[in-house]
Amino acid sequence: MKFFYKIYILATLCAIGLTASAQDKTQKRIELDSVIIRETRAKHLPDVTGTTINAGKKTFLVLPTEGKANLAGNNARMLFAQVPGVNVWEMDGAGLQLNIGTRGTDTHRSIETNFRQNGYNTNSDIFGYPENHYTQPLLGVQEVQIVRGSAALQYGSQFGGMVNMIMKGPDSTKKFGIESYQNAGSNNFFNSYNAISGTSGKISYYAYYSNRSGDGWRPDAAFSYKVYYAHIAYQFNAKGTIALEFSRMDYRQQIAGGLTDAQFDANNRQATRFRNFFNPEINIPALIFNYNFNPNTKLNIISHVIIGQRNSVQFIANPNVPDTVNTALKSYNPRQVDRDYYKGFTAEARLLHNYKLGDMMSTFTGGVRYFTETTNRRQKGIGTTGTDFDLSIVQPYGIDVNLHTDNYAAFAENIFRITPKFSVTPGFRYELIKTSLDGVVNNRTFPVNYNSQRSFPLFGTGLQYQLTANGQLYGNISQAYRPYIYASVTPADQFSVIDPNLKDSKGYDIDLGYRGRVGYIFSYDVNLFRVYYGNRVGNLTLTNASNISYLYVTNIGNMVAKGIEAFTEVSLLRSFNHSSVSDIRLFNSFQYDHARYISGVYSQGGKILPLTGNYAEGTPEWIDRAGLTYLDRHITATLQYSYVGKNFSDANNTTFNAIGASGIVPAYHVFDLAFKYSFLKHYQFTCNINNMFDAKYFTRRINMYPGPGILPAEGRTFNIGVGIKI
């Protein structure tokens, strides 16, 4: 039945396209031939974007494109292929989460990255629980703006920098347009993306609805994902616009459980759980105001709300403990229910002003932000013994707390153009954070302390020198800060023990690089970096008096990550014929990251053992991605190769653990293919194959949801699709 439904959808799209063509003929419209744009935009952001400053910073600009990435499957490995050093946790092949980290930061739901959409935060609780549950469909994203650690001054204090998803905007050439893409693939994968867009007078709009479903590559890994987005803007005069946006995402995912090393070696596709489910629901209304006082002064004010919840029901035990009927109960064991409820509000105002200083124009940007959030965390509830998604409980929650955060921030940066080629961009940020916690936390051996107030300044400076017409030298140093989060003081699993004296982490990020291009043939961006991460919070694998291993969450010590990042791309055909409408492009994105602890000790078996020299957990030393792309008037096709080196899952660099929750994450190689064929002006056909050669690998070991244990990456999968835009 599902198959016939998918065929019906595809046939309907074709009918819509033919009808549109017929209407075009009836109205006797004349359409010009399409123009092929050869993507001449730089791979980095310009000095100024809107009301933000990028000069002297390590930045990237990613344009999601069918034929270069599997957009229907939200494949992060392909999306960020040309951004050196992006470490991706591949939790599943459904693309329900974008889990990335860089330079030693945690990949878990991009928890150390300031994630934004059209300029406003989408992290569930930016200070208390900054996981990014909300994920957009990549088919709705126009561009991805990335700023490395120097983003700490303008956007927030995170070590992982900022990622801003700019959504597709209204079509200014017509009152009504349709965009629709339908994909079907292996394991009953189906993705549907449908959008409308247009402009009428002073009003413009763009809206989409997307759903994605499938059975998953492993048994008991089915998922159903739905997301909505609407943008409507009113241009009230030549200088100003106001826009209202609303986003909603919800999905339900069955969790197949973690594996031990022995289970993974025997069959990496097996499931150890069938009664475990995860379900986030996130709503984000936003109001965006832009006003240009004059050509040199502009104002941007954004206010937005996050209202959502995160729900899970799981049988939590080591992966070698089967989830079977308890003979004493004559039923399955009760499951654990964990629920979070988020209510947050943020208002952020930015002013940018260009002014003359001496003979040169300088640029100032400054702003303020107010953020408040209350999270109700309910965990360790005794749930039902059933097998379906059921959040009801039969006994009260073991953890039932209210966590509140108030944050006030002010920030400013200024581009001082010393000469036409050389600029200096100093900046600062001041943060005030108030946190409080009240409620019930059962079975604690020490008091929970999350009531505090801290304030701190952050400083930084960027340098930029235009060495040649197309070559630019840049450098930056910025401070960063990460408060310890309430998730650390209220763990929901029984495998973690928390240090009651956790401290905030402080550090800095340094970049020095050179970027540019040689004509339209060769582009490059090469830089050295150093990240100092003081009092880093992480995991130690320890053993208790009963010789049972557990993970101890504490301030491990000070960590330094230093290395090189390099991106290069060459146009092979245009090297011989600059006017060629076809091209073959070869790119390589490479990182070497020497991330080591430079201080820290731990106690085990009565001995004090050093951590100095140990690898930072979850940080591959080598990441290399290369790709070959063919382009012509109708075809875009990319073959991509990814190599990610080995890493350790804990700070004491455990090599083996019986339950699989800690140990080595081995190096792996993966090939991917993306293909797009455009025809009849309005149509396209796509084909995506991920993990072409069915490599057997995993990207993470974990002690909590959705484990514990090894989380296998997916084997070979594919999808094909058709699309229309009229």
Could you read off the pLDDT of 389-434 as tens digits, one per residue? 999 999 999 999 999 999 999 999 999 999 999 999 999 999 999 9
- Asked whether 420 and 360 are in contact (CB, 8 A), the reply is yes
Burial of 241 (0-12, 13-18, 19+ CB in 10 A): middle
144-161 mean pLDDT? 92
Of the pLDDT bands very low, low, confident and very high (cuts 50, 70, 90), residue 448 is: low
Cα–Cα distances in angstroms (integers) from residue 632 to residues 316, 373, 580, 583, in the given order: 52, 50, 9, 7
Of the pLDDT bands very low, low, confident and very high (cuts 50, 70, 90), residue 550 is: confident
Three-state SS annotation for 637-700: EEEEEEEECCEECCCCCCCCCCCCCCCEECCEEEEEEEEEEEECCCEEEEEEEECCCCCCCEEE
Query: What's the pLDDT at 27?
Result: 40
- pLDDT at 582 exceeding the cut of 90: yes
Contacts of 345 (CB under 8 A, 6+ apart): 303, 304, 305, 306, 371, 372, 373
Nearest CA to 448 among 495, 395, 488?
488
Rounded distance, CA 704 to CA 306, Å? 25
Q: What is the pLDDT of residues 681-702, one digit of tens each?
A: 999 999 999 999 999 999 999 9
For residue 91, give the DSSP letter.
-
Domain contains 43: no
Q: Which range is most confident: 517-521, 583-587, 707-711?
A: 583-587
**44 token code pair:** 């980095």
- pLDDT at 24 exceeding the cut of 80: no
Choice between 594 and 554, residue whose per-residue pLDDT is larger: 594
Domain contains 640: yes
> Which residue in the block uniquely carries the two structure tokens 């954070």?
433
Of the pLDDT bands very low, low, confident and very high (cuts 50, 70, 90), residue 525 is: very high
- pLDDT at 255 exceeding the cut of 50: yes
- pLDDT at 22 exceeding the cut of 60: no
Decide: helix, strand or coil at residue 118: coil
- pLDDT at 262 exceeding the cut of 90: yes
User: Partners of 563 in the beta sheet?
Assistant: 529, 593
**574 token code pair:** 């245009």
Domain contains 217: yes
**632 token code pair:** 């012509």
Burial of 325 (0-12, 13-18, 19+ CB in 10 A): exposed
* DSSP result, 432-457: EEEEEEEEEE-S-SS-----EEEEEE
Rounded distance, CA 117 to CA 246, Å? 11
515-535 mean pLDDT? 96
Domain contains 353: yes
Look over the chain and give the mean of its residue pLDDT values, rounded to a whole number.
92
Domain contains 331: no
Contacts of 52 (CB under 8 A, 6+ apart): 154, 350, 352, 365
- Asked whether 481 and 157 are in contact (CB, 8 A), the reply is yes
Quote the pTM value: 0.93
265-285 mean pLDDT? 98
* DSSP result, 96-125: ----EE-TT---GGGTTSEEEETTEE-SSB
Q: What is the pLDDT of residues 663-674, one digit of tens each?
A: 999 999 999 999
Q: Which range is most confident: 16-30, 35-49, 539-553?
A: 539-553
Q: What is the pLDDT of residues 363-399, one digit of tens each?
A: 999 999 999 999 999 999 999 999 999 999 999 999 9
CATH of the domain at 562: 2.40.170.20
Domain contains 165: yes
**213 token code pair:** 């479903």
Query: What's the pLDDT at 14?
Result: 45
Cα–Cα distances in angstroms (integers) from residue 89 to residues 172, 551, 697, in the given order: 38, 20, 12
Cα–Cα distances in angstroms (integers) from residue 448 to residues 257, 443, 445, in the given order: 30, 11, 9
Query: What's the pLDDT at 444?
Result: 62
Query: What's the pLDDT at 607?
Result: 86
Rg (CA), the chain: 26
Rounded distance, CA 504 to CA 623, Å? 29
Neighbour count for residue 29 (Cβ, 10 Å): 8
> Which residue in the block uniquely carries the two structure tokens 């499951």?
335
Query: What's the pLDDT at 400?
Result: 92
Range of the domain at 23: 2-27+48-320+337-725
The pair phi, psi for residue 4, each rounded to 5°, is: -65, -35
Which residue type sits at 317?
Answer: A
590-605 mean pLDDT? 93
Q: What is the pLDDT of residues 54-93, one digit of tens each?
A: 999 999 999 999 999 999 999 999 999 999 999 999 988 8
Decide: helix, strand or coil at residue 534: strand
Q: What is the pLDDT of residues 602-620, one digit of tens each?
A: 887 778 899 999 999 999 9
Query: What's the pLDDT at 542?
Result: 86
> Around 435, how many Cα atoms within 13 Å sit in the side-chain half-sphere?
24
Question: How many domains does one find in the chain?
Answer: 1
Q: What is the pLDDT of residues 202-228, one digit of tens each?
A: 999 999 999 999 999 999 999 999 999
Query: What's the pLDDT at 41?
Result: 57
The pair phi, psi for residue 77, each rounded to 5°, is: -60, -35
Domain contains 375: yes
Percent of the chain with pLDDT over 90: 80
Percent of the chain with pLDDT over 70: 92
- Asked whether 540 and 651 are in contact (CB, 8 A), the reply is yes
Query: What's the pLDDT at 501?
Result: 84
Of the pLDDT bands very low, low, confident and very high (cuts 50, 70, 90), residue 551 is: confident
- Asked whether 311 and 353 are in contact (CB, 8 A), the reply is no
> Which residue in the block uniquely carries the two structure tokens 């059975």?
215
Domain contains 235: yes
Rounded distance, CA 78 to CA 62, Å? 11
